[in-house]
Amino acid sequence: MVPLFPAITDQIPDGGVEELPPFLLGFPKSSVPRLLNDDRIALTAPFPKAFDLEQNLHASFKRELLFGIGERWSRTITLDGEPYELRAQVSERESDAFWIILAASLPKALDDMFGTGGAYIGPATGSRSFNLASFGEGLPILYIWDERQPPSITSQRDLGAHEFGHTVLRDAYDPLTSCCHKGTSDPVGTVSASAPTFAATPPPTTVLDLMLYYNLPKNVSVDANTLATDDDARALAWMAKVVFG
Ligand SMILES: [Zn+2]
């Protein structure tokens, strides 16, 4: 690949990573041209070890998140009036891929580092997953494991597909549509009063838009019922630059 700003990479000294500019910490010089290419935003941050998940938890969380992306983004789509079975398959690769970080929650990490003894700085602060790529190409999805409310396997799959979907919405529409869940939340994720509402019983059984927020009574979850919409799934195919002939 031809770097967009080749002169900049020339100025980066050879040697250890500690000599690189702060925003490139942790990346070998050889990866710099790729990071500067296109309109991708290069960003990294040194995460303390306390954010690491235990190995088995990391493996199972990752497995369910990735499974969920394939599960909830596979559906029948309509193109030129004809139905097609879209199948989303997920596999890991090191470059030209979505950037995903799995991490322990901020309160858990602070407790590990400073022994706060569970005196957390807020009920949900740093405990909710979010997708920074709602705002710009190349930023990571942060899937955060909240050990105080471990999600069920169904919820992990819904979470995997939902956060991934923020990238699709930003690419297909715009950042505000993405971070505001198509108008059912504010930009920081507070549910709007006008969002679809469900009563406590019975829980909804219809298929629901994966990317909306809902007004739900406490302890009612719609995580088992979500699926990408026809439009959003077509947007994913469009992003993947698939050509149907
Ligand atoms: Zn969301």
The model's pLDDT over 54-104, given as tens digits with 9 standing for 90+, comes to 999 999 999 999 999 999 999 999 988 999 999 998 888 877 788 888 998
Q: What is the pLDDT of residues 147-198, one digit of tens each?
A: 888 999 999 999 999 999 999 999 889 999 999 999 999 988 899 999 998 8
37 and 60 assigned to the same domain: no
Which residues lie closer than 8 Å to 242 by C-beta, 6 or more apart? none
70 and 184 assigned to the same domain: yes
Give me the domain span that covers residue 24: 1-46
Q: What is the pLDDT of residues 8-57, one digit of tens each?
A: 445 444 544 444 444 444 545 454 444 433 444 445 566 788 889 999 99
**How close is the Cα of 182 to the center of ligand 1, in Å?**
10
In a domain, 17, yes or no: yes
End position of a domain, from candidates 28, 46, 64:
46
- For the segment 113-128, the average pLDDT, to the nearest whole number, is 68
51 and 37 assigned to the same domain: no
174 and 126 assigned to the same domain: yes
**How close is the Cα of 129 to the center of ligand 1, in Å?**
8
**How close is the Cα of 196 to the center of ligand 1, in Å?**
15
Q: How many domains would you assign to the chain?
A: 2
**Residue 126: what residue type?**
G
**How close is the Cα of 26 to the center of ligand 1, in Å?**
29
Tokens of residue 137, six digits: 């190409």
Helix ranges, 51-192 (H): 55-72, 106-114, 153-172, 175-179
Say which residue the tokens 């698939």 belong to. 242
**How close is the Cα of 201 to the center of ligand 1, in Å?**
24
124 and 53 assigned to the same domain: yes
**How close is the Cα of 213 to the center of ligand 1, in Å?**
8
In a domain, 244, yes or no: no
Q: Is the pTM of this model over 0.85?
A: no
| 106: pLDDT strictly greater than 90 | no
62 and 13 assigned to the same domain: no
In sequence order, what are the beta bridge partners of 144? 103
